[in-house]
Every structure is written in C-alpha cells, then in structure tokens.
Structure 1
Amino acid sequence: MSQSFRHPEILEIARRDGLVTVEGLAAHFGVTLQTIRRDLSDLADAGRLERVHGGAVLPSGTTNIGYEERRALNTDAKSAIARACAKRIPGDMSIFLNIGTSTEAVARELLHHEHLMVVTNNMNVANILVANPSCEVVVTGGHLRRADGGLIGNLATETIRKFKFDLAVIGCSAMDDDGDILDFDIQEVSVSQSILAQSRRTFLVADHSKFKRSAPARIASLSDVDAFFTDRPLSADLTASCEAWGTEVVIA
C-alpha cells in the first residue's frame, strides 16, 4: 500500500482510538517500523498529528493530551530550550516556574544554580529542585490536578499575589499564528496571568509542536514576554512582530 493510501487510514484510526502506535500500525499495514515512522513524521509536519513516544495523537483543540505523553514529546528539544533558558538565569534571584513539562526541564537545569528562591505551582518542579540545597522552594498550594501535579485555583492565585518575582519562566499548550499564548484550563490561565502580573521579567519556553496546536483559552501575547525560547524559527510575520514588540526570540 502506498503512502498516499496509508495516511487517510492512519488518521481515521487516530480519530477512532485517540492514539496510534508505530508497532500497531506496522502490523496493521504489513510494513516496517521505519516506514510507519516516516508516515507519522510526514503527518506531523503537515500538522495532522502530534508525535508522542512510540506513536502519535491527533492535535488537540479543546482538551490537552495526557501528561505522560507530553513528557515524552520532543524531549531533546525541551532539554536544549531549558539549557538555553537556564544560561540566562543568574543566581541570587526569585523565580516562578509554572505548570508544564518544559518548565520541569528548566528546573532540572537549575540544579546547580546558587541562592535561588523558586516559587511554583508545579509539584514536579518542587520535587526536582529539592535536590538543590542552595535553592529555597515555595509551593503555592491550591487545588491539586492529579493528572500533572499542577496546583490551580484561588489559593494558588492568592499566594502568587503575595510576591514580586525577578523572573517568571512559563510554558504554554499552544500558540496562535498572531503570537497569542494559549492553554486549555481556564483556572490555569488565571494563575498564569497572575504570574505575569507579579513578575519583573518573563521568559516563555515552548517547542515547535506548540506552533501547530490550538487551545481555547488565551493567557497573553508574545508581546507580553521578554524572551521566547524555542527550537525552531518562527514564521516571517511572527518574527517581525516580535522584533516590533521587543520580544527576544532565542532558538536553542
């Protein structure tokens, strides 16, 4: 079966099952694993699927993909982005790290930074940074979202408003062509907006997969952040907009 015939059926299976696996599709079509990986990469490049560890899922519109799948998505890119971001973070400062696998990657890169105060609504970030004896960790409290260890709701927002951070490092679930930063959970969006309001500077960390996704809730615009750390160049129009806004774009 040619590639042009496999692609529609792969998409149909993804719509039916929510997730397709490389091994399952190879067995279904009677082709090699390498052939299916190429098919999934082509569909991901076209924005029809999102690659996850061992397979792919449909791009999300109103609900996010699972936390473990997100954690396995674009791990090398997230690590490179996190390293580039952490290099811009000196010691002796207060930082907020929000919910997300990209901010967790940043936390891992901060394990050897000295004299940091890190406030977070991400239990995973707190568990990572507890290994740095020179880092004071403050957890906001709030309603625990068991799916990803995020803390959201009024208590989280009230805690954030008690601080003025030197820097916030935030992630997002999606980004529009006009530079709007998007997420799925309106409660998380409210927390993220409070973080922006209480921070002197803001860094956004997001890999290229976020350029191809959509989500219903708006956090802010790229014009509201000081630097955007990512792994691939933006479109010409969005690059020009960032230059006009004074938003630095760092390609890791």
Structure 2
Amino acid sequence: MTGRTRDARISTLLALLSQHGELQVRSLPTILRVSGATVRRDLAVMEEKGLIRRSYGKIAASRRGAELPVSLRRSQNTEAKRRIGALASSLIPKRPLTIALSGGSTVGFVASSLAGRPDLTVVTNGLDTATSLMARQVVSVVVTGGTARPLSNDLVGRAAEETLRAYQFDFAIVGADGISPNAGFTRHSARGAEIDRIMLEQARHKIVVADSSKLGCVYQAKIADVDSIHTLITDSHADTNMVASLRKGGVNTTLVVIPTAAKSNRIRFP
C-alpha cells in the first residue's frame, strides 16, 4: 500500500472496519505500510469527518451505512467505475441530444467519457460532473440552481427541481447507493433521490450506473422501482443471483468485465 493517497488509506480502513467492527490503532502502521505519524493524521481527519469513534487504543466506524464524502468514493472501485462510464457513454447516439447527468463518482466517469462530444447539451446538478464535462470546452453544460450538499458536491432543492422540470431529456444517467430487486434503486439522501427521480421522469431513456458493491444494499430514500429503469450498467463481480432477479424484474442489466487483477483492489463499504 506504499504510495497510496490519504483518501485511499481511509477507504481501506473503512473497508476493514466494515469487516471486523473495530481495529487496534497499534496495528495500523503495519496494515497501511506508513508511519505512526501518518496514521495519527489520517485518524484525525476521519474523526473530524465523523467517520470513526476512538477509544482505548481502538477505532470503530461511527455508524454503519453512513454516506461517505465523494472524495472518498472516488477512490473506491475505480477500474469498475471507469469501465462502466465508458460503456454508458457509448450508448449515447452520435447526434444532437439533451441529456441529464446526476452527481456522484460513477457518473463522473460517464461525464469524462462524454467531454469530447460537441453534439450534446448536458443538464446536471453535479458540480464535479459539470467540471468533468467542461474539461475540453466542447459540451454545452447547464448547471441547475439549488443548495449544495458538501458530501456529494451536488445541488438539491426547489431551484434544482424546477430547472430539471423545464427540460425533456433524450437520456438520463444517474447513480445509486443501493440496488435491490424488491426495494429498487435507493440513495442515502432523500433530497438527492428526488433530483434523480425527476431526471428519470423527464427522460425517454433511463440509465442507472453503479458498481457491483451497490447491489444488495438498501437505503432510506427511493429513486425508482426496478421496472421503471431501462438499463442498469454494473460490473462482472456482481452477484449472479441478484443480476438474474434484476433482469427478471424488467431492467436490462449489462456487466462490464473487470480484470482479475482489479478484484483485489475492490472495496465494499458498509
């Protein structure tokens, strides 16, 4: 793990905490292959963000299933997200279109893949999504108004909703925090889920992108039922029974192939 960034180290610790419940602080320099001073700084950041509790030489996750800052999610399962983004972008026909993109780390890879498309008008509530789209200065980008959510760097609220309702989209591509055949597509944030729901309602073609760690997870805020989505793009590490149930429920589920070497770097958060 030498050379990993702080976000990658924090992601590793959160994954270990989800498996073991708690960790001994004295073991962390060996696990992360960094100095004790580096570990102390990492733990201070995690504590400040409310990600962990510390007591008697141990750390534990503050609460299971908590929404993570988008900066940490970017370092989770990046190869899967990159390939999902490339495939999703390839489904957008080469002609003038208006599409909606949500915020989130996986949709960010979609945006990066679409950044060279001069024939697109993209409406987004994602600040990071907009930044990725504008990198090559060819896509026409419309950013909604609204109130910023620091955890996700996206905009929510009435102004964002009114902007989206003013459009009819050819495609909408959104992410999800949880995917279940029974519970549908869900998110941590009710306000974020409402924005995603409006994007999908206003679109002719509805696509959800999410790496396989999201399958089987259920959160409080519902985006949509399984049978209301045309396409789900995930990766080849998805549970086969879950994929079969989703397909039976009516969603066209496509898996991008992830090399075996990338599997060891995958992280599943609680």
Residues 139 and 233 of structure 1: CA distance in aligned 2, closer, same or farther (over 3 Å): same
Counterpart of 2:88?
85
Distance 1:80 1:174 in 2: 19
Counterpart selection for 1:140 from 144, 149, 158:
144
Counterpart selection for 1:13 from 22, 25, 28:
22
> Normalization by structure 2: what TM-score?
0.70
2:210 aligned with 1:201: no
Counterpart selection for 1:210 from 210, 214, 218:
214
Distance 1:113 1:21 in 2: 49
How many residues matched? 215
Distance 2:236 2:116 in 1: 27
Deviation at residue 178 of structure 1 after TM alignment = 2.8
Deviation at residue 165 of structure 1 after TM alignment = 0.3
SS of the residue 1:156 aligns to: helix
Q: Which moved more, 1:156-165 or 1:83-92?
A: 83-92
Residues 58 and 24 of structure 1: CA distance in aligned 2, closer, same or farther (over 3 Å): farther
Deviation at residue 236 of structure 1 after TM alignment = 5.0
Counterpart of 1:106?
110
- Give the percent of matched residue pairs that are identical in Structure 1 and Structure 2: 26
Counterpart of 1:154?
158
Distance 1:107 1:159 in 2: 19
Deviation at residue 121 of structure 1 after TM alignment = 0.2
One-letter identity of the residue aligned with 1:84: L
2:77 aligned with 1:68: no
Residues 68 and 60 of structure 1: CA distance in aligned 2, closer, same or farther (over 3 Å): farther
One-letter identity of the residue aligned with 1:118: V
Q: Which moved more, 1:62-71 or 1:119-128?
A: 62-71
Query: Contact 2:21 / 2:61 at 8 angstroms: preserved in 1?
Result: no
Deviation at residue 223 of structure 1 after TM alignment = 1.4
2:132 aligned with 1:128: yes
Deviation at residue 228 of structure 1 after TM alignment = 0.7
Counterpart of 1:251?
255
Distance 1:9 1:148 in 2: 21
Unaligned residue ranges in structure 1 (runs of 5+): 1-6, 28-56
One-letter identity of the residue aligned with 2:22: I
Distance 1:86 1:179 in 2: 27
> Normalization by structure 1: what TM-score?
0.75
Query: Contact 1:61 / 1:216 at 8 angstroms: preserved in 2?
Result: no
Q: Cα RMSD (Å) of the superposition? A: 3.0
Deviation at residue 126 of structure 1 after TM alignment = 0.9
Q: Which moved more, 1:224-233 or 1:239-248?
A: 239-248
Deviation at residue 110 of structure 1 after TM alignment = 0.7
Deviation at residue 239 of structure 1 after TM alignment = 3.7
